[in-house]
Each structure stands twice: as C-alpha cells, then as structure tokens.
Structure 1
Amino acid sequence: MANELESQMSHKLTGEAHTDSLHDEESLLSPLEELDNKKLDKIYRKLDFRIIPALWCLYFLESFGSSAYGLTLTMNADQGHSLGQKLKLSAHDISTASALYYVGYILFDVPMNLVMTKVSPQSWLARIIITIGLVYTLYHVLENSQGLIAIRFISGMVGAGTWPGMSYYVSLWYPNDRSTRRIGYYFTAAQISAAVAGLVSAGFQKMDGMRGYAGWQWMYLVYGLVTLACGISLLWWLPDRPFKTTTESDNKLHILYRKFFTPTHPLNEEEKKLHRMDLEGRYKKLSWGWRDLIEIITDLRIWPLIIMYFGVVGTGFGLAVFGSTLIAVNNPSLTSIQVSLLYAPIWLFDLAGILIMTPFADRRKSLRPYIFSFATAIIMCGMFVTTYAKGKWSRYGGLLIAGFGLGPTVPICMSWAAEIFQPTYGDVGTAVSAALVSGLGNLGSVVSTYALYSGWPADKARLYQYSNMMLVVMLGVSIIAAGVCELIKDRVRQPKESALPSSEESN
C-alpha cells in the first residue's frame, strides 16, 4: 500500500530534499476527494481509541471539581457538617467563592490557550490536570471563608484553558467535519462526572467524622490525589501534535524531557501520510502576532458565539452548582444522601442529549445553529417545568428535561467557532476563538453563581423561581445570537489564502 501511495504521488514531486514539510506537500499530495474514505475512517477510529479516552479522563476529573463543590453545600447538612456549616459561610461568601472560580477562568483562558499553540499541547494539558489535582488536594484543610474564596479563584486560574485547549487539540488531529462528534464524546465526561459526583458524595457522607474530617473533606482529598496521578499519566498517554511544526531545541532539559515524556505516535507511516493529506487543506502555520489577535477579537462573528455560550454554559453551571439545592428546596423531606442520589440522573439525561444530537451536527454542518436552538429551547421548557409544575416530582422532571437539552449545546458552540475561524485565521484562529468563546462566555457562569440562587437570598422563599427565569432569559438571548451568527458568518472576513508552514518550521 505504501508503494502504491508513493507512485500516486510521484508525478508531483519537486525533487527538493525537504519533501516531508506541509509546505512542500501542497504540491505532492493528491486531492482530498481521491482519498479512500474507508481508510480514513479506520485511521480516525484508531485515533479515537488513543485520544478520546485520554481527553475523556482529563475532562472528567476537571469537571468533577465543579460538581463536587455544588454538592458540598448540602453534604452532611443533617449533621451540620456541610461546607457552608463547617466554614460558617454566609450566602454572600458562597456566591462570591462560586463566582471567583469563573473569574479566574475568564482572566486566564485566552493566555493559557495561546501558550498551548507555542508548546507541546500534550504536556500543557497534562500540566493543567496536575495543578488541578494539587490545588483540590488542599481543599481538605480549609478552615474559613477567606481560604475558600482564595482557593476557588486559584482553582479557576489553574484550570483555565482546559475546555478551549481540548477543542484546539482536537482541531490538530481531526478535520472540522469530524470534530463535533469527538468533542461530544469527551464532553460526556462532564455529565458522567456530575452523575458520579452525586453517587460518590453519598458514599463519602458515610465517612463523616472519620479522623476528624467531614465527608466533603474526604471527597476532596481523594479526588485531588486521583487527579494528580491521572495528570502525570497523561504525559505518556496523550500523543503530541500530529506533525512537528518547529525545529527541536538542543537545550539539555528539552532533550531530557523529550526522551522520557514523549509518547509514541498512534499512527504508522502509511497512516500518517493519509492523515496528513486529509488535514493539509485545513492546516495553517502556528506563527501569530498581536495583529492576528486584534483581528480575531474585532471580528463581528466572535460575539454572537460568545453570547450563545454565555446563556447555555451559565445555565449548565448554574444547575451544576445549585442543582442539588433546587432538589432540596423543592422537596424538603429528602435527606442529604437522597439529594445527592437524585442529582446524578440530571447529567445522565445530559449525556443522552449529547449522544443523540451531536452526530447530526457533524453530518449536517449547515444545521448547527438550528440544532443548537432546538436544544436550547428544550432547556427552556425544562426550566419552565421545574419552576411552575405543581408536584415536587414534576419539578424534578423539569431538571431532567433541562439536562437533556444542555448536552449538545456546548460542543456545537465550539465546533462552529472552529468552522468559522480556522479557514480565515488558521491555527491561531481556532485557539483564540475557542478561548474567547469559553472565557468571555463563562461570564454567564459568574451571573448564575454570583447574582442568582444563593447570591439572591430573597429568591429562596420563592423556591428560586426568579433565578430560574433569569436563566430562561439568558437562553432566549443565546437563540437570538445563534440566528445573528448564521446571518453574518458568510458576510464577514472570508478566508484568506492559506499560509502553510515553511519548510524550516515543519518536519
């Protein structure tokens, strides 16, 4: 097969010594339509088995912390040992600590993702999860509200760049018409981690009082250590870039690092060539400057995407942090363990939404804004049911409906951003658009965790009806933004000529 492939390409050879660079392969490789789709499908399935489980574990552990934090607000409340009771937190303390997590995320999302374009993405993602593990291990020694507020901000800071970083990483290995499903695959980790957090927290509540620690302290300690171990394993598990884009440094530390922490490439030589051919027409050089960043930030198309993300992620994190609170306030007869167990199915429904809807968003890329709007409308219906239904179990059913709608919305936002910005700006367009959408869009999380629910004490007497309706308003604005983006996406700054890496930059 390798010889056959070489013969198909030989009439295009330039005769130059550096024929393996992406620049030279522009004249070497056969057109994309001549590639064997069955062989490509096999290659991408092979990549899936290596890449997706690693990203899934990474995102599972990163997401677990957010879900766990919401659950600690009700864990062992019957014994007076919840996080708020143990640290003597006021409602203002809780909302401030919740919001500062997202402030840290927002401030550092763009710079963290830009760093990733300059370094080994595999090492950078491993760094993120290692530092998350270290920080969350320290949660078990918290003693007051000041410590919680500080460590929540630090948690957001060290976790910044995770979601856009993974989206950028996927864009290196997969073409856009295959990306939404892959993003959806590892995005399921967030839903499963939320469900697992609910189940696991019920078990940790049984450990309350052991060695003087509350149940939530045990949960954070174990979670932090497991996350740290997984982060270290990613250094050998997650492959780096599919193609080298810069000359390797002769620094002794860099050489030592590459010797021990560079994982094997998941594809053989024949598969590498086909994979490269499939990606070539979509791949642009990594070099960027401040002018590129300014162009992306001032591109009108980025702002509707940010607003889309603002509404859905604000609702998602609002339910992640305060979902157990809504369950408890709507059904006061439940024990804290029962509340934790009922929290889990919300995110299983979220998982179902991902698995059902994201494949359609890849097969019919032109329908992405409509699928997003449909899913967002489902969330709105769920929020109406959980707010105004008469029975307590009917209200709980509304949370399940909202969870189902939430699933596909974020993956669609990220893959649509890459589809719009990669052709015009190349690699840096994918990285910066993902970071801006995720970073600024997370202001929705700040609103839902700081201004709503515990941040709106008077709303508790109304069973948080007004907070729920504010999320519905945010979701409605997201649907409008999706329509605006669809209208302007082909009328603003269309793709420039491809600027592929020069031969001295590529391998």
Structure 2
Amino acid sequence: MSVPTQEKAGSERVSSTSYFSSDVNAANLKGRIWRKLDTHLLPLITLLYLMSFLVAGMAEDLHLVGLQYNIAAAIFFIPYCLVEVPSNVLLKVFRPSRWIPFIMVLWGTIMTLMCLVNSYQGLVIARVSLGLAEGGLLPGLTYYISLWYPRQMQAKRIGTFISAAAVAGAFGGILAYGIQHLEGKAGLHGWQWIFLIEGLATVLFAFLAYFLIHDYPETATFLTEEERQFVMRTLEDDSKGQATHFSAKFVWQALADWKTYVQAINFMTILITGYAVALFTPSIIHNLGFSAANAQLLSVPPFACACVCTIVVSFYSDRLNLRGPFIVLCSTISMIGYVVAYTTSKPGPGYAAAVIAASGAFPNVAISVVWAGGNTGGHMKRGIVLALVIGLGNLGGICSSFIYYQPPRFHKGHGTVIGCLGMSIVCSCIMMWTYKRLNKEKEEQCAREGINEGMKDLYCELADESPLFR
C-alpha cells in the first residue's frame, strides 16, 4: 500500500513553509533539515544495530553434540520475543536516551561474560540471558525512527540501519578469520576472544550512546526552533493528528487488530529466510568444498551484496511510495537463489545461489517492518504493533536453527525456506488488497459524512481506524 506523499498530504503541509523566511528557498531548507536529522541520527543507530557477535568454533570447543548447538541457537529467540512489547512500552515511558543504552549495557555485559562459558548448560543460560537483554533493540530502533520521520521517508532510514545486519555478516567473516590468530592467547579460544572484544566494545559504546541519543524532535538540541516546528508539523500532518500519549487502550487496539498478525506471519517467513542466510552461509560454503577459513572469507560477498540491495530497495520503496510489491519482488529473487541451491551440488552455482538468496532476503526485513508500522496510527499503537510483528516474527529464528542439518545439500532446509518465501508472497498480496479496500471505504465514508482534516481531533484516539487515516 502506498501512503500519502508529502506533496499530497494536504494544504497544512504546504503551509509549513511559513515557518521560514520568505527570502529563502523553502524546498532546499526542507531537504537540509532532513539531511540534518540523518546526520545526527542514522550513524548512531546503525552502529547500535551493528553490535552483533559470531560463535565460530564454539561447537567443537564446548564438545557440543547432536542438536545441542541448534538448541543453544534457538533458545535465544524465546526470551527475545517475549520482551519486545514491554520493551517498547518502557522505551516510551523512560525515553530512548535512557532505555536503549540500558539494554546495551545489559547485553554487552552478558556477551563479555560468555567468554567464560565452558559447558553446554552454561551456554544455554547465557543465550537465554542474552535474548532477554537484546530483545528490545530492533523494535526499539524501528519505533524510534517512526517518531522522527513521516511514513514515506522511513524505509531508506530503517533500511540503512538494518543493512548493518548484512555488514555484520560480512564483517563477521573477516573478524572470525582474523581472530583465529588469537587462538590460545591468554588461554582463550578464538570464539572467546570474539565475545570478549565485542562485549566490551558494546558496553563502552552504550555509555557514549547515553549522551548522543536525542529523544524526540521537540527536544532535539541540534535543531533550531524553526526546524523543530517544521519537523513536528510534518509528522502531525502525516499522522492526521493521531494521539502521541501513552494509554493502555492503545495496547489493546494493537493486540486486537488482525492485520498485526498477518504482518507478523509475513515477517516470520522473511526472518526464517534471513536467519538461514546469516547463520548457515559459512557452513553451506564449507560443505560445498571450501576450507573452514576460506568459508569465512567467502561469506563476505553475499552479505556485501545484501547490504547494497537493502539500501537500494529501501530507497526506491520510499521514492515510489510502495511496500508490498517490493516484498513480492525480493521474495521471488531470494526464492530463485534457494531453488538453485536446492538443485545443485557444484560449488560455483551453489555460491552464486547464496549471493542471490541473500540479496533478496535482507531488503525484505526493512520493507516489511516499515510497511507494518506505516499502516498503524498513533505513537503507542504503532510501537506495540512493531514490537508484536518483530517479536512474533523472530520466532522464525527457532525454525532456522533446526532446518539445516543435512549437509552438504541441505534439501530440507532449502525446501523449508522456499515454502516460507511463497507464504511471504501470499501474505503480502492479502495485505495489499486489504489496505486498498480499507482506503477506498474510508474515502467513501469521508465523502458521505463530510469528514475533513479540520475534524481530526474527533478521531485522534482511533489510531488507524480513523476515517482520515490512510
């Protein structure tokens, strides 16, 4: 579904130019303001999302057997999913500049201490603790972006920081290759050094983030008063005056909305694909005939391509004001990659398949999140919907942890992902039809009952059920 463009959002948006002096070019000033926001917000949240880790060599060093590694990977997602809704509520209550650094300190400390894990039981406890601490990050950052930018401008911003996941996948391969040279230093294995270094870096960065994160446009010190008024007016016009305060009824609105769960299923199928790429690409490459060290290095190009595709697709999604068609397109591309992987046993085509699969999988993560949030009205309901979609969707990580167990062809894993991509296409088509139908019904209601934007205060607490919301 497309959302109203800034130029077509109504006469009130055009009047926002009145905040500026008449002797300057208003269009250039608007562009400068959004670039100013990008400069102050995007580098920071991209670095926040980049804080991830790799567990190369752990299975051998902890003597994990059978499905123990898979269970340790999967157990993370259960607490991760459970904390996402309360985390977004707490982010609203305590402010982003306090809540996000707090959870960063928690997960950075846990990650650091994971270098001391010496048994399967300890690994499971550490993974559960890490899921509890880290679960609020993605829904929190996504919600945070939605508080600063109108809907049509969110995809490329969210795509930018989500592309950090692909960068982390690429960087992780290089990091793992390099840290192998620390094997045995100070009595630690290579994977222990990874936890120690990245954990300490996360804690350090969390303390810096406390001073660098700006909470909301109305309190941003890097904006002038005129710029703040312009951003706030633009956001108000885009939301059609939807409520911004906290109330328990907005939580119930989100929980009772059936569209939330279709979007969650869509996101789950997308994440199964993404996690499959992120968790198992090195293993797939290794089982195609490459050495373990070269497999780490050769995992870089698929993730690098995924990063570029995520940014490009997000940019054009905003520019063309479309979400669903891009999800269908990217799911189809990723499906082609998995079909090739399913049908070949040769290293060359198999590696090309990994690149194609990753290039289609990662852009969908950003677009689907923006789509769910952009079609939800009101600050609090949007925050809860994003947390529900991301939280329930991340249960797909459990599936991803168990489907790749038949090397070297991984037929069941690839087949499962192909089915998930097909489900993503079906869910996207359902939601495109639904949003188009709802917009038509609301337009007819406004025309029939004489509802206009001057009456938006009457509907401010109806969230996206408001007849003015598109």
After superposition, the C-alpha distances for 1:212-263 in whole angstroms (9 at most, x for unaligned) are 111111111011111111111101112111226xxxxxxxxxxxxxxxxxxx
Match of 2:286 in 1: 328
Match of 1:305 in 2: 263
**Separation in structure 1 between the aligned mates of residue 70 and residue 353 of structure 2, nearest angstrom:** 24
**Separation in structure 1 between the aligned mates of residue 288 and residue 87 of structure 2, nearest angstrom:** 40
After superposition, the C-alpha distances for 1:304-347 in whole angstroms (9 at most, x for unaligned) are 2111111111111122111111111121xx32211110111111
Return the match for 1:145 from 120, 125, 130: 120
Match of 1:32 in 2: 13
**Separation in structure 2 between the aligned mates of residue 237 and residue 103 of structure 1, nearest angstrom:** 31
On the 8 A contact 1:315/1:445 being kept in 2, the answer is: no
| Structure 1 position 498 matched with structure 2 position 460 | yes
**Separation in structure 2 between the aligned mates of residue 230 and residue 353 of structure 1, nearest angstrom:** 28
On the 8 A contact 2:338/2:354 being kept in 1, the answer is: yes
* 1:240 match: secondary structure: coil
Structure 1 counterpart of 2:28, which letter?
K
Match of 2:411 in 1: 465
Consecutive unaligned residues of structure 1, counting only runs of 5 or more, are: 1-28, 73-81, 245-263, 501-507
Match of 2:433 in 1: 487
**Separation in structure 2 between the aligned mates of residue 295 and residue 120 of structure 1, nearest angstrom:** 22
| Structure 1 position 46 matched with structure 2 position 36 | yes
- Cα deviation for residue 382 of structure 1 reads 0.7
After superposition, the C-alpha distances for 1:360-384 in whole angstroms (9 at most, x for unaligned) are 111222x310111100111111111
Match of 1:414 in 2: 369
Structure 1 counterpart of 2:143, which letter?
Y
| Structure 1 position 161 matched with structure 2 position 117 | no
Match of 2:50 in 1: 60
**Separation in structure 2 between the aligned mates of residue 467 and residue 30 of structure 1, nearest angstrom:** 52
| Structure 1 position 452 matched with structure 2 position 452 | no
Match of 2:449 in 1: none
**Separation in structure 1 between the aligned mates of residue 251 and residue 232 of structure 2, nearest angstrom:** 27
Match of 1:17 in 2: none
| Structure 1 position 266 matched with structure 2 position 266 | no
* 2:221 match: secondary structure: coil
Structure 2 counterpart of 1:329, which letter?
N
Structure 1 counterpart of 2:257, which letter?
D
| Structure 1 position 206 matched with structure 2 position 152 | no
**Separation in structure 2 between the aligned mates of residue 218 and residue 121 of structure 1, nearest angstrom:** 31
On the 8 A contact 1:204/1:219 being kept in 2, the answer is: yes
On the 8 A contact 1:308/1:481 being kept in 2, the answer is: yes
Return the match for 2:326 from 371, 374, 377: 371
| Structure 1 position 135 matched with structure 2 position 120 | no
**Separation in structure 2 between the aligned mates of residue 444 and residue 217 of structure 1, nearest angstrom:** 27
On the 8 A contact 2:46/2:162 being kept in 1, the answer is: yes
Map residues 372-451 of structure 1 onto 2, 5 A cutoff. 372-422=327-377, 426-449=378-401, 451=402
Structure 2 counterpart of 1:394, which letter?
P
Structure 1 counterpart of 2:294, which letter?
Q
On the 8 A contact 1:40/1:275 being kept in 2, the answer is: no
On the 8 A contact 2:274/2:362 being kept in 1, the answer is: no
**Separation in structure 1 between the aligned mates of residue 256 and residue 236 of structure 2, nearest angstrom:** 27
On the 8 A contact 1:378/1:401 being kept in 2, the answer is: yes
- Cα deviation for residue 37 of structure 1 reads 3.5
**Separation in structure 2 between the aligned mates of residue 391 and residue 205 of structure 1, nearest angstrom:** 28
* 2:299 match: secondary structure: helix
- Cα deviation for residue 390 of structure 1 reads 4.2
**Separation in structure 2 between the aligned mates of residue 298 and residue 410 of structure 1, nearest angstrom:** 24
- Calculate the TM-score normalised by the size of structure 1: 0.81
Name segments (4+ residues, structure 1) moved above 4 Å.
Answer: 490-496
**Separation in structure 1 between the aligned mates of residue 299 and residue 433 of structure 2, nearest angstrom:** 38
Match of 2:311 in 1: 355
After superposition, the C-alpha distances for 1:464-494 in whole angstroms (9 at most, x for unaligned) are 1111110110111011000111111254596
Structure 2 counterpart of 1:169, which letter?
Y
Consecutive unaligned residues of structure 2, counting only runs of 5 or more, are: 1-9, 18-25, 443-455, 463-470
Structure 2 counterpart of 1:31, which letter?
E
Match of 1:184 in 2: 159
- Cα deviation for residue 99 of structure 1 reads 0.7
Corresponding residue pairs, total? 426
On the 8 A contact 1:101/1:153 being kept in 2, the answer is: yes
**Separation in structure 1 between the aligned mates of residue 248 and residue 217 of structure 2, nearest angstrom:** 26
**Separation in structure 2 between the aligned mates of residue 352 and residue 302 of structure 1, nearest angstrom:** 29
* 2:296 match: secondary structure: helix
